[in-house]
Amino acid sequence: GAVVSQHPSWVICKSGTSVKIECRSLDFQATTMFWYRQFPKQSLMLMATSNEGSKATYEQGVEKDKFLINHASLTLSTLTVTSAHPEDSSFYICSARDRGAGARSNQPQHFGDGTRLSIL
Amino acid sequence: EDKVVQSPLSLVVHEGDTVTLNCSYEVTNFRSLLWYKQEKKAPTFLFMLTSSGIEKKSGRLSSILDKKELFSILNITATQTGDSAVYLCAVLRGSEKLVFGKGTKLTVNP
């Protein structure tokens, strides 16, 4: 089945550091990937939709200059949390859908294992 | 505003019990409803439901969708401790965005 790999799985760093998280589709091509954030005991909240070869689409309230998204190839999207602060500490998860399944087909999104980000 | 509401938020049962998890939704441009199981890491896919009244089954898990009443249920029979997890309901909109509920935390005690 479709596999999505996310790296790193855990990051601890000082306030002010920028952190890059990678999301890769291992056995399929994904023109679209999604980035979510999950706070403790809360559900997943969509942050942005990453589009291969074009600009990401951000959800309301998500700062695009703070959360930089790059989707340079059909198998890789990156999320960079710039100048991270303690309030950015959260669980970040990406997902992707198999492009080969067709834009309107009902294939589920598959999730990476997530990145736990802790800012000191 | 799109809404996905799951109930109960938390459930504690004994091994062997049967549980029913509920999910109701109000979402524009509905395409499908999905159930995921989340343990310590990211959600793993269980079911995708698009049509009303057709039960999907996988082992001890089953799920059904009612598009008229805008809800779905996830059943787990003969629960095991390995079923302990947060079960997430999500609705896929036409834009391919997933709207998640808050989840039901299921604890199965031996």
How do residues A83-120 score in pLDDT, each as one tens digit?
999 999 999 999 998 766 555 556 788 899 999 999 99
Please judge whether B42 and A45 are an interchain contact, meaning their C-beta atoms are less than 8 angstroms apart. no
Higher per-residue confidence, A111 vs B41: A111
- Note the helical H segments in chain A: none
All residues of chain B having their beta carbon less than 8 Å from the beta carbon of residue A60 are none
Mean pLDDT of B18-40: 94
Q: Which of A118, A115, A101 is nearest to A22 (CA)?
A: A115
Please judge whether B45 and A6 are an interchain contact, meaning their C-beta atoms are less than 8 angstroms apart. no
Higher per-residue confidence, B40 vs B85: B85
Q: Which of B65, B9, B81, B80 is nearest to B32 (CA)?
A: B65
- Report pLDDT for A28: 86
Mean pLDDT of A58-72: 92
Angle at the Cα of B44 (from B30 to B98), degrees rounded to 5? 25
Determine which of A15-24, A37-46, B51-60, B70-79 has the lowest per-residue pLDDT on average: A37-46
- Report pLDDT for B66: 96
Whether B13 contacts B104, CB under 8 Å = no
Whether A117 contacts A11, CB under 8 Å = yes
- Give the sheet arrangement for strand B61-66, strand by strand: B3-7, B19-26, B71-76, B61-66, B56-58
- Distance (Å, rounded) from C-alpha B16 to C-alpha A97? 35
User: Among all residues of chain A, which has the CA nearest to that of B88?
Assistant: A43
- Going by their DSSP bridges, the two strands B10-14 and A10-13 should be labelled as unpaired
Residue B82 clears pLDDT 80, i.e. is over it: yes
Q: Tell me B42's DSSP state.
A: S
pLDDT bucket at A51, cuts 50 / 70 / 90: confident
Whether A3 contacts A107, CB under 8 Å = no
Strands (E) across chain B are located at: 3-7, 10-14, 19-26, 30-38, 44-49, 56-58, 61-66, 71-76, 85-93, 98-100, 104-109
Residue B100 clears pLDDT 70, i.e. is over it: yes
- Distance (Å, rounded) from C-alpha B66 to C-alpha B53? 6
> What distances in angstroms separate CA A10 from CA A6, A22, A90, one per listed residue?
10, 12, 10
Please judge whether A106 and B48 are an interchain contact, meaning their C-beta atoms are less than 8 angstroms apart. yes
Q: Which of B34, B42, B99 sits opposite A93 (nearest CB)?
A: B42
Q: B29: distance to nearest CA of chain A, Å?
A: 13
Whether B73 contacts B65, CB under 8 Å = no
pLDDT bucket at A13, cuts 50 / 70 / 90: very high
- Distance (Å, rounded) from C-alpha A52 to C-alpha A72? 6
